[in-house]
A = this chain, B = another copy of it.
C-alpha cells in the first residue's frame, strides 16, 4: 500500500475560460447563475458563479493522475460548497490521507480547495479502492 495516514498532496487548478466554457458545452447546464452576469450580480455575487462540479472534475484528475498509485477506482465522494468560485480563480487543492483500510484495499482522504484569498471554497472527503 503506497498510502499512509497523514500523507499530504497538493495541486493547483485554474478555472480557465476553456474549462468553464467546456463544462457548459459538455453538460448543457445554462442555469442563469452560471451564464447570466446581471442575474448573478443581482443575487449578490461578483459575477457568474463557476459550476461546483468543475471541482469534481478536478478531483477526477487528482485521483486518476496525481496519486502515486494509478491502480485506483473511486468508491465515494462528498463535497460541500462554502464560497463562490469565479472565472480564472486559481485554486490551491490539498488532500490528506485520513484512513488506510488494508483489509478492503481502501483509502480515505479529506480535501479542500482554497482560492487566492485563502478562503476555503469547497471541502469534503472521498474514498478510493486499490484494484486487485
Contacts and interface: CB of A to CB of B under 8 A. Distances in A.
Copies in the complex: 2
A101 interface: no
A76 B27 CA distance: 19
A32 interface: yes
Interface string A69-80: 010111111111
A46 interface: no
Contacts of A29: 57, 60-61, 63-65
A60 B52 contact: yes
Size class of A's contact patch?
Answer: 35 or more
Nearest to A34: B64
A72 B43 CA distance: 10
A59 B19 CA distance: 18
A31 B70 CA distance: 7
Interface string A27-62: 111111110000000010000010111001111110
